[in-house]
Chain A
Amino acid sequence: MRVLELRHVSKYFGAIHALTDVNLTLDAGEVLGLMGDNGAGKSTLVRVIAGNYPPTHGELLIGGVEEHFSKPAESRAKGVEVVYQDLALCNNLSAAANVFLGREIKRGVWPFRVLDHTAMARRAGELFMELKSETRPRDLVRQMSGGQRQAVAIARTRLSKAQMVLMDEPTAAISVRQVAEVLDLIKRLRDSGMAIILISHRMPDVFTVCDRVAVLRRGTKVADKPIKQSSPEEVTGLITGAIAAA
């Protein structure tokens, strides 16, 4: 099933062409590695899909329907979730509180609508178990390892019926042991039928979990092919410009 389709998407910031005529598709149960050097347009592309800013030209289709997002809440309502690079977690709150931040479960009758701590801890616990993470719902995020934090951020995307998750450098700031944990999380999301875009600088990660790799250079997509038909050497060449296109 086609989850995402970009048709001739361009994004200009004044005279700067951050994205030029990008076409991209993504199917359910597929992991796409999005690679490129700093300033190649990866983050811009993610933000266009996530609804942070609309494209200057081109069309954005979610599940075959054209969408015009003007803020992240609108894309989330259509099943697009983003795991931000800094994970967007509140260290002073518990794991369960972070998972449910902005969409808390409440009980009681207005005006006495109170938080249902038990239900939220239970649901968060179920999500962590699905993800096979050792994260405990009532622990403060402050006390957690990088892998556990990642699980909290990913569990948040599982709350809604997300079709697609955009992950911005999920393995950039964590230890080697935890990288494996996060890559396992990504595989489990894919196996549950979710479409994933993984933005990463780390070649081994992309070649471990991705089905397909797309390379951006100076705002233009220069490659988009199955991972099995590519190699780290080719992708490096595409990123730097040593190879023009593939």
Chain B
Amino acid sequence: MTQNASGANVGIESILGLQTQTAFQRLIGAQSFWVTIALAIMCAIMSYLQPASFATPENFYNITRNFSFIGIMALGMTVVIATGGIDLSVGSIMGLTAVSCGLTLEAGYPWWAAVAVGLFAGGVTGLINGLVIAYVGLSPFVTTLGMLSIARSVAVVLSGNRMLYKFGPSGPAFKYLGGGAVQFAEGYELSFPLLFLVVLMLILAAVYKMTAWGRHVLAIGGNEQAALLTGVPVKVIKVQVYVVSGLAASFAAILNVGWSGSAINALGATYELLAISAAVIGGANLMGGEASAYGAFIGAALIFTIRNALLMEGVDSNWQGTFVGAFLIAAVYLGKVRGARRE
């Protein structure tokens, strides 16, 4: 115990500063860092190969807007994944939200009422998911798989299986929400969805880093029993994460309907897989306890840049899934290798 004895003589200051990892080591240990590098390399190569079509303001605008919808869903997904859960219903929640917004607008209500109804639809669907998972004790996979089917079916029934596009007097305002843009330099525009994504990402990053709630979410994913024994309100938080995920999906749907100008009940089909892929590529661990807001952002960015790059290179669009899938598996493998080294 000589080490202990000498340990008693050192000041408190000296152990407070000590960490096993330096900031640099933590940076290169983060999966999102490597995904960022991969994205930068891909952009550099594409800018060289296709200077006239890839590296243009229009293409930048399109890619960033396209990945923003998935990015916003993926932000909500990280919170669920952080607790060790999964939300397969987010794509169907988008369809349900789209139909809810469309019907509200067609009935002539103002744009903010449509936004409120849309968020309500997503929030309530998430609430049902959360209550069943936390209080009935069914697995997140099965519960949200069931909800995937239920929410889509309700969306089809509500819409009467038709496209909703006669948005009434408030239509233009609602469409501006998802389709608008701000110009930040001559010829360069940033879409509203991207701005919303960035703001939400910063908020979520602060929640993870600075709030007890964010820490409790990660604690539940790390060791649910420990969280319970130390007095963390595990069930309440589990309900909340599914509400957050539902709200994120419905907000993405609101922006998407605004951008496209029409509401279809099929909106978001298979998007749940893209949202999960984005979160996982960005470093979220499906076993729980690891997730980051920036990871969801960069994961979504990478997926849509791959798709865009393949299109520009003239690769048959049916191959996109193969590339995205390969990246996903590679990301999980990298995460596993890093995890093994850390243990």
Residues of A that sit less than 8 Å from B by CB: 72-73, 76, 82, 84, 86-93, 97-98, 101-104, 106, 113-115, 121-122, 125-126, 128-129, 132-134, 136-140, 142-143, 156, 180-181, 184
Contact = CB atoms under 8 A, between A and B. Distances in A.
Contacts of B3: 134
Given A72-B229, A115-B210, A92 B4 contact: no
Interface string B208-235: 0011100110110111011101111000
The 9 closest A-B pairs by CB, nearest first: A90-B222, A92-B289, A88-B226, A102-B231, A92-B222, A102-B230, A114-B210, A101-B230, A104-B212
B18 A138 contact: yes
A116 to B, nearest CB: 10
Contact of B223 (A73, A90, A143): A90
Given A88-B229, A90-B227, A136-B15, A115 B222 contact: no
Interface in B231-288: 231-232
Contacts of B290: 92
12 contacts: A84-B229, A90-B222, A90-B227, A92-B221, A93-B215, A93-B219, A101-B216, A101-B226, A102-B227, A104-B215, A137-B15, A143-B342
B70 to A, nearest CB: 26
A72 B208 CA distance: 27
B137 interface: no
A142 B218 contact: no
What is the predominant secondary structure among interface residues of chain B facing chain A? helix
Contacts of B212: 104, 106, 113, 115
Contacts of A133: 4, 7
Given A90-B222, A91-B289, A93-B219, 13 more contacts: A72-B231, A76-B231, A88-B230, A90-B219, A97-B219, A101-B232, A106-B212, A113-B212, A114-B211, A125-B12, A125-B15, A125-B16, A184-B4
B212 to A, nearest CB: 5
A136 B15 CA distance: 6
Contacts of B15: 125, 128-129, 136-137
B25 interface: no
Contacts of B18: 136, 138
Nearest to A180: B1
A132 B212 CA distance: 28
B226 A89 contact: yes
A101 B289 CA distance: 14
A86 B226 CA distance: 9
Given A101-B230, A104-B215, A181 B225 contact: no
Contacts of A89: 223, 226
B304 to A, nearest CB: 29
Contact of B16 (A101, A103, A137, A184): A137
B111 to A, nearest CB: 27
B12 A90 contact: no
Contacts of B215: 93, 97, 101, 104, 115
A245 B32 CA distance: 63
A93 B225 contact: no
Nearest to A71: B231
A86 B228 CA distance: 13
Given A133-B4, A181-B4, A88 B16 contact: no
A97 B289 CA distance: 13
B223 A91 contact: yes
Contacts of B7: 129, 132-134
A121 B231 CA distance: 20
Nearest to B10: A129
Contacts of B289: 90-92
Contacts of A139: 19-20
A126 B4 contact: no
B343 interface: yes
Interface in B1-54: 1, 3-5, 7-8, 12, 15-16, 18-20
Contacts of B231: 72-73, 76, 102-103
A122 B290 CA distance: 25
B259 to A, nearest CB: 31
B286 to A, nearest CB: 13
The winner among A98, A101, A106 for most chain B CB atoms within 10 A is A101
Given A102-B231, A106-B212, A184-B1, A143 B226 contact: no
